Chains A and B, each alone.
Chain A
């Protein structure tokens, strides 16, 4: 019989540094190839970002994006988790709904842009709605899959231990499905952010997405690149934090 497994060597930090260095090298190479008119260099983008950070308007745009993203993520998670759990627990409904949801998600969401604008108007509502239609489906599909693929012997064990239905959901079903649900939330996080930024690009007067479109329209390449860098750093940082939480608290053993 084997003893406790040896924990794997931790090389994550070094790998991340190597990956960041490679991306910077790629960025610099692309800048040298395309020139200043298309892409600012990493050094120029950082300089522009430093200037931006000194303006109140930039933080106002950041706050607008953060507000829309927080609302969209909360709605995506609530709708996705509820829908996924409900469909997963009702096997027949899940079997019918899963291909429907996947098919619905394959529709290019940008084609819904005029409808979203007409329904929610220009501003926060449209941005949030755009974020939600991008984010809730993957969360629902991951949750549905997690519940459907639950090992039946765990549910039989719950019955053998005379657990009530509520206890089974809380103490067996939820923790068993949690790793996949968290994976779904990570995907949903990225796609909700994408949706919010697209919404800001097309249907807003504030936010980082708006700044990118504005910079492009004014052909201010340094501004555009600096804002894109901000978005990338925020998204990668948040995803790394979620991944750390997942490994630290969800995936044990």
Chain B
């Protein structure tokens, strides 16, 4: 199955309140076009004994797709995200975002949500969400409009005046997602954003993430170690080898764009998850030095 053709929110809706139209910036590519491209990208950490952390990796991230990356622990998933985000530079290879090279600085139009709680404890929920917009000099009325929308969209309206210490882990992660969302990124990178949450909350947050993805039309790249999460959320799942990580399989899930966590009850879900695990099992054994690993 192929993912359904999805309507893209165009520039005409960009000025509407809220995040709708996030991906509709003037430079954003159309659907099915390349949004970000990694070509022969490697990352070696220098030192007395250099560590090859990643690659070579090739990846063509299509505009508007939901792409997940799974792989054994330490295979370089987060390194891949850092490189694509411009938070570190590749040792070799090229990275393009919307046709322009990513060269060690986070490009405009790209948003990142980290695994760790990255909310600012000295700011209220409202001020946390508005932080990026204020620093970018966005008009105060526009900032207030976007923040109000994000508060409602993420179910945080009743907690606008609360501080992060007064919120649960799941709500703090929503604050971080909302803070990224209001900057209207066209590519959203998520580094195991639900890693610290319990299973029920993860499923519900997954639903919210899918809703957000549909609303914004943004391209999403999700790093996760949870196969079920990757299988449920994604159009495509990239399976990485043990370190240095390379893509050993790209699995098209074929889910419709309108989907949610009830998908886990469908027969096809088990098929996708089983395929992911089949590709990943040997690599995971290699990563932990297990006896059943095949070369």
Q: Which residues of A contact B (CB under 8 A)?
A: 1-5, 151, 153-154, 156-157, 159-163, 167, 171-172, 175-176, 178, 250, 252-253
Contacts and interface: CB of A to CB of B under 8 A. Distances in A.
B121 A252 contact: yes
B293 interface: no
Interface in B86-124: 87, 105-106, 108, 111-112, 114, 116-118, 120-123
B158 to A, nearest CB: 8
A4 B159 CA distance: 7
B118 A154 contact: yes
B118 A153 contact: yes
B171 interface: yes
A5 to B, nearest CB: 4
In the A-B complex, list the 9 residue pairs whose CB atoms are closest, starting with the nearest. A253-B163, A253-B165, A160-B112, A153-B116, A161-B132, A5-B166, A157-B118, A1-B168, A175-B122
Contacts of A162: 105-106, 108, 136
A2 B183 CA distance: 27
A159 B121 CA distance: 18
A3 B168 CA distance: 8
A218 to B, nearest CB: 52
23 contacts: A1-B171, A2-B166, A5-B166, A153-B114, A153-B116, A153-B118, A154-B118, A156-B114, A156-B118, A157-B112, A157-B118, A160-B85, A161-B131, A161-B135, A162-B105, A163-B135, A175-B120, A178-B122, A252-B121, A252-B163, A253-B162, A253-B163, A253-B164
A245 to B, nearest CB: 14
A160 B158 CA distance: 27
A176 to B, nearest CB: 7
Contacts of B85: 160
A64 B114 CA distance: 54
Chain A facing B: main interface SS: helix
Contacts of A156: 87, 112, 114, 118
B51 interface: no
A153 B164 CA distance: 15
B167 interface: yes
Contacts of A1: 167-168, 170-171, 201
A167 B131 CA distance: 11
Contacts of B135: 161, 163, 167, 171
B83 to A, nearest CB: 13
Contact of A4 (B118, B131, B166, B179): B166
Contacts of B159: 3-4
B106 A159 contact: yes
A153 to B, nearest CB: 4
A3 B167 CA distance: 6
Nearest to A170: B135
Given A2-B167, A161-B183, A162-B105, 4 more contacts: A2-B168, A2-B171, A153-B117, A157-B112
Contacts of A153: 114, 116-118
B8 to A, nearest CB: 25
B111 to A, nearest CB: 7
B121 A157 contact: no
A185 B105 CA distance: 36
Interface in B197-221: 201
A19 B192 CA distance: 50
A160 B164 contact: no
Given A1-B170, A161-B132, A176 B87 contact: no
B122 A176 contact: yes
A4 B172 CA distance: 12
A192 B105 CA distance: 44
Contacts of A2: 166-168, 171
B129 to A, nearest CB: 12
Count chain A CB atoms within 10 A of each CB in B111, B166, B168, B180 and give the residue with the most: B166
B87 A252 contact: no
A236 B122 CA distance: 27
A132 to B, nearest CB: 30
Contacts of A4: 159, 162, 166-167
A151 B118 CA distance: 9
B39 to A, nearest CB: 23
Contacts of A175: 120, 122-123
Most A C-beta atoms less than 10 A away, residue of B85, B131, B168, B179: B131
A151 B135 CA distance: 20
A154 B120 contact: yes
B283 to A, nearest CB: 27
Contacts of A253: 121, 162-166
Contacts of B179: 161
B164 A157 contact: no
Contacts of B116: 151, 153
B94 to A, nearest CB: 21
Nearest to B183: A161
